[in-house]
Amino acid sequence: MLYKNKQILGVGVFLFVIFVLIPWLIHVSGRWDFYYTLTSVALLSIASGGVWLTFYIGRINIGQGAFALAGGYVSAILVVKYGVSFWLTIPLAGLFCAFAAVLIGFPILRLKGVYFAMITLVLTEVARLTALALPITNGARGISSIPLPGELSIFGLTIIPDFSTIENVKLAFYYLAAVLMVVSFAALYRIVNSRIGHLCRSLQQNEELASSIGVNTAYLRVIAYAISSFMGGISGAIFVAISRSIYPASFPVKDSIDFMLNCFLGGLGYVFGPMLGTLVIYFGWDVLFTTGKYQLLIYSSVLILLMLFLPNGILSLRLPGKKGASK
Amino acid sequence: MSPILQVKGVTKKFGGLTANNNISFDVNEGEILSVIGPNGAGKSTLFKMIASFMPTTNGEVLFNDERVSNLSPHVVAQKGIVRTFQETTIFKSMTVRDNVIVSHHLRSKANLFGYFLGTKTAKSDEHEFGRSADDIVDFLGLGEIRHELASNLPQGHLRALGIAIGLATNPKILLLDEPFAGMNHDETMRTVELVRGVRDRGVTVLLVEHDMPAVMNISDRIVVLNFGEKIAEGTPFEIQEDDKVIEAYLGSEDDAIGI
């Protein structure tokens, strides 16, 4: 019971920090630019959380950029060309990506290890080239001057006001991203700590045995991959709304690799690993900016050292022996 | 009584190599039937085909008169034919108890979404699986170490865990692939008792094995393979007296002279 109380307290503190303390600190210090940084961290960690789930079933996924890009385009096209409400395009972008993941996943999820990783890496590039070639995505010129999100109302009741009437749009986007992040990770936590997580771990550890105890491994893999891509899609959709533009190069291969690194760095055994990993990598990179031309050298050396000495991620420092995955 | 499992003319060819040639035998409900043979006789191949881990080239396997060959492993497992593995195949980074709990998959009443939402059915499933896992773990003498990580277990316990995983699926037939391999005499005798216990729970046991004394001790009937062909079938006593079997294992007198 004590453990449970501690958990509730932890969640409470976390929610307080992101919804009250951070906006207050920013207000006091006047560093409004931090909103953009933190919003990006929240959105990137949603996409990384998806990648983490594919790791959890034993697949190295370096293709999340493809789904973030696809989600971004779906939202942009629906908003600009068809006048669909931005709020509706968030789930639609996610569903589009989940559906695409099912189609792509059935054949490629049969591959394992480095072969699957290579295919997903290619996927990011395929998505970029597709966006370049299709007429609907407007080629290299991309889609720009996307309107701000409009009002979200149900039965005449305004739930979210029109963003163009809000004084502080940065804060609004920050809240939107933070809420989505909390919901996404709550869902991930629930998946991992229910029997579904158990089944995912059985896949991760031994697919042959999993199928011999009656688990439909192909089905479960595709489900996990679809959820993963859904998360990539919604984060892409919101990114586009913030930058109000999207181009084929909006989510390059580097992003796909970063999503994976975030998971590695945070810890593959911990649900909240990708969140922490994203924060550390994003800020770490920015802090190193002051070192000028040595930025990349220091950054990559630190990453290599971390992987060597903390193979289970940063969170393994705090919770020795209590691996979130083997509850 | 009609047989629970019928192997009918099963053949497996790998290119020019015939691993199994036209093998037929029946397995009766509630018996322990062993498939034995020298190395390379095609025992494991036959096992894989029965559990649908590999398609047959020819012939079929019937379970309660229903064809079960050339399907997916998880479909065959759903029907009640469950295979354990030759090597100590377990979920290494889970505890003993979790290994057994996750293997209750086929008894799930709730679906994935139900587990996500934590519906009543899902909760009762999880409760039931925990209880049943404790039961099975105790039955196989793993009670003391139920919270140990599976990767830390010694050989003998790993084998017992393998059987526990198989039992958790509630199988009608359990296929055991070399359950006594690499064991000393005491461990073998203990495992023989376990396998008998499994049969006494109403599970038909089909096993592939090298260990002759153990096989003779445990089996109700034995099928002997050599070079992919069935050369004999019968009770342990009949098999011990069979000229072809003695020849396969010891070589004929002519061969002995040839050397």
Query: Which tens digits make up the pLDDT trace of A233-262?
Result: 999 999 999 999 999 999 988 899 989 989
Nearest to A69, CA basis, from A244, A237, A274: A237
Going from the C-alpha of A96 to that of each of A46, A74, A131, A235, the distances in angstroms are: 17, 8, 15, 13
pTM of the model: 0.87
> CB–CB of B73 and A216 under 8 A?
no
Chain B within 8 Å of A194 (Cβ-Cβ)?
A: yes
CB pairs under 8 A between A and B: 88
Q: Best residue in B48, B76, B105 to probe A by mutation, most A CBs within 10 Å?
A: B105
Query: Which tens digits make up the pLDDT trace of B61-115?
Result: 999 989 998 898 899 998 999 988 766 688 888 999 999 999 998 888 888 888 8
- Residue in A with minimal Cα distance to B107: A214
> CB–CB of B53 and A214 under 8 A?
no
pLDDT given at position A246: 93
pLDDT given at position A183: 95
Residue B224 burial by CB count (10 A; 0-12/13-18/19+): exposed, middle or buried? buried
Q: What strands lie across the sheet with B173-177, from one edge to the other?
A: B81-83, B173-177, B204-208, B32-36, B221-226, B229-234
Beta-ladder partners of B36:
B224
> Encoding tokens for residue A102?
């099912």
Q: State yes or no: pLDDT of B244 exceeds 70.
A: yes
Strand bridging mode B5-14 / B17-27: antiparallel
Q: Best residue in B81, B91, B97 to probe A by mutation, most A CBs within 10 Å?
A: B91
pLDDT given at position A296: 85
Q: Express as a percent the part of chain B with pLDDT over 90.
A: 33
Among A196, A209, A211, whose Cβ lies nearest the Cβ of B115? Answer: A196
pLDDT given at position B57: 92
Residue B115 has, within 13 A of its CA and on its CB side, a CA count of: 21
Nearest to B109, CA basis, from B190, B170, B192: B170
Among A190, A201, A216, whose Cβ lies nearest the Cβ of B74? Answer: A216
Among B74, B116, B126, whose Cβ lies nearest the Cβ of A211? Answer: B74
Q: State yes or no: pLDDT of A323 exceeds 80.
A: no
pLDDT given at position A67: 96
Average pLDDT over residues B240-244: 86
Average pLDDT over residues A169-198: 92
* Residues of A with Cβ-Cβ distance to B116 under 8 angstroms: 187, 190-191, 194, 196
Among A191, A214, A326, whose Cβ lies nearest the Cβ of B94? Answer: A326
Q: State yes or no: pLDDT of A229 exceeds 60.
A: yes
Average pLDDT over residues A193-197: 90
Query: Which tens digits make up the pLDDT trace of B170-216?
Result: 899 999 988 888 788 888 888 898 899 999 989 999 999 888 888 88
Residue type, position A285, single letter: W
Average pLDDT over residues A288-313: 84
Handedness of CA A66, A70, A76, A81 (dihedral sign): positive
Q: Which residue has the higher pLDDT, A84 or A159?
A: A84
Confidence of residue A324 (pLDDT cuts 50, 70, 90): very low
Spatial distance between the Cα atoms of A222 and B42, rounded to a whole number of angstroms:
35
Within 10 angstroms of residue B175's Cβ, the number of other Cβ atoms is 24
- Residue in A with minimal Cα distance to B175: A212
Average pLDDT over residues A97-114: 93
> CB–CB of B73 and A212 under 8 A?
yes
Long-range contacts of A277-282 (CB under 8 A, 24+ apart): A277/A45, A277/A48, A277/A313, A277/A314, A278/A41, A278/A44, A278/A45, A278/A48, A279/A41, A279/A45, A280/A314, A282/A37, A282/A40, A282/A41, A282/A44
Average pLDDT over residues A34-59: 93
**Secondary structure in 3-state letters for B186-247:** HHHHHHHHHHHHHHHCCCEEEEECCCHHHHHHHCCEEEEEECCEEEEEECHHHHHHCHHHHH
Chain center to CA of A1: 32
Spatial distance between the Cα atoms of B148 and B129, rounded to a whole number of angstroms:
18
Helix (H, G, I), strand (E, B), or coil: what is residue A312? coil
Q: State yes or no: pLDDT of A320 exceeds 50.
A: no
Confidence of residue A202 (pLDDT cuts 50, 70, 90): very high
Within 10 angstroms of residue A132's Cβ, the number of other Cβ atoms is 15
Spatial distance between the Cα atoms of B137 and B128, rounded to a whole number of angstroms:
14
Nearest to A128, CA basis, from A11, A217, A216, A248: A248
Chain B within 8 Å of A198 (Cβ-Cβ)?
A: yes
Confidence of residue A92 (pLDDT cuts 50, 70, 90): very high
> Encoding tokens for residue A289?
């900016």
* Residues of A with Cβ-Cβ distance to B98 under 8 angstroms: 198, 326
Q: State yes or no: pLDDT of B253 exceeds 70.
A: no
Average pLDDT over residues A109-128: 91
Q: State yes or no: pLDDT of B256 exceeds 60.
A: no
Q: Do the interacting molecules here have an ipTM over 0.85?
A: no
| CB-based contact B57:B11 (threshold 8 Å) | yes
Query: Which tens digits make up the pLDDT trace of B25-71?
Result: 999 999 999 999 888 888 889 988 999 889 999 999 999 989 998 89
Spatial distance between the Cα atoms of B29 and B171, rounded to a whole number of angstroms:
12
